[in-house]
């Protein structure tokens, strides 16, 4: 039985009232996924918070729902809609690792090699890149101060913010907001200590994901990301894309192909025209269950 079949089925006798889920991860970025297409059920904020808490629920960095497509792009081939909820229950617009995981389930379900997934960050083209790997085209990456969004106009290529070694950062949006800072030695930076001041700065009315990057060579980056609302994640797909874009903008890398090493593993980023990027990486299934 395919995982999507399991997610869509009605609860077995004795499990009425419970909802099936699959827990997946992309480079140890963990998600609890529900299929809401056939058996929709509201997910109150309190339930999302509980589910994400490893001590009270399944444990995850985000809850994801698969829903019927709603955008005008559905007529152009959008297969399903994905919604993303952070650990505080607030909805997010984009997550690269989450997109790979949900796309893998839907590619298995459909038997396709490619499909379009509707997200809060737009319509995303997804394709198989191996038995347990998916490539997703993300973007466009934008840097207008009101597109991030910022509280007021500043030079988004040179942010006027400093927190410890974090200085002269860049603000970008790829469906969710990011601030990227380049440092000489990533391991020397206590990201937990210095990133929250950037994330919570009044310049970012919706908060921001804070990426701290080290240039290893002209085609390789190391990256750690402090994600909204306050997690030092093992991997961040959108963060890897904007870090590669920012490195090219600063002239720190050559060409358009970049390998980004995160604590959870490596992602391959291919920078495209008009600010788009193809992110390729693995997915994995952790467990199945009911809640």
Please choose, from the candidates 281, 287, 258, 253, the residue with its C-alpha nearest in 3D space to the C-alpha of residue 270: 258
101 is catalytic: no
**Which letter does DSSP use for residue 188 in this model?**
G
H or E element in which residue 242 lies: helix 237-249
Which position among 95, 101, 126, 241 bears the catalytic label? 95
Nearest to residue 82, comparing CAs of 56, 63, 61? 63
Phi, psi of 64 (to 5 degrees): -120, 140
Active-site residue, from 52, 126, 236, 241: 236
Q: Is 126 tagged catalytic?
A: no
Q: What residue spans of 58-200 are helical by DSSP H? A: 96-110, 191-199
Peptide bond into 50 cis (omega under 30): no
d(CA 94, CA 47): 21
Q: Which tokens sit at 4?
A: 């999507």
Active site residues: 95, 236
């Amino acid at each position: 039985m395919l995982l999507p079949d399991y997610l869509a089925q009605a609860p077995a006798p004795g499990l009425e009232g419970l909802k099936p889920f699959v827990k997946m991860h992309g480079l140890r970025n963990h998600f609890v996924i529900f299929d809401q297409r056939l058996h929709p059920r509201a997910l109150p904020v309190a339930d999302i918070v509980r589910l994400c808490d490893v001590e009270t629920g399944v444990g995850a960095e985000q809850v994801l729902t698969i829903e019927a497509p709603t955008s005008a792009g559905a007529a152009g081939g959008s297969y399903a809609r994905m919604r993303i909820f952070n650990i505080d229950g607030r909805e997010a617009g984009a997550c690269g690792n989450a997109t790979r995981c949900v796309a893998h389930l839907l590619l298995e379900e459909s038997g396709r090699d490619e499909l379009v997934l509707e997200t809060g960050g737009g319509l995303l083209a997804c394709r198989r890149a191996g038995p347990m790997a998916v490539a997703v085209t993300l973007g466009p990456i934008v840097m207008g101060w009101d597109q991030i969004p910022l509280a007021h106009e500043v030079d988004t290529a040179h942010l006027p913010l400093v927190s410890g070694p974090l200085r002269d950062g860049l603000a970008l949006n790829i469906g969710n907001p990011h601030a990227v800072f380049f440092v000489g030695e990533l391991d020397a930076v206590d990201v937990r200590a210095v990133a929250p001041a950037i994330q919570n700065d009044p310049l970012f009315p919706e908060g921001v994901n804070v990426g701290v990057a080290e240039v290893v060579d002209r085609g390789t980056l190391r990256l750690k990301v402090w994600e909204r609302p306050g997690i030092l994640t093992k991997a961040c797909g959108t963060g890897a894309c904007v870090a590669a874009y920012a490195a090219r903008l600063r002239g720190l890398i050559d060409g358009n192909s970049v390998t980004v090493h995160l604590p959870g593993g490596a992602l391959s980023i291919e920078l495209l025209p008009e600010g788009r990027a193809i992110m390729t990486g693995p997915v994995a299934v952790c467990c199945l269950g009911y809640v």
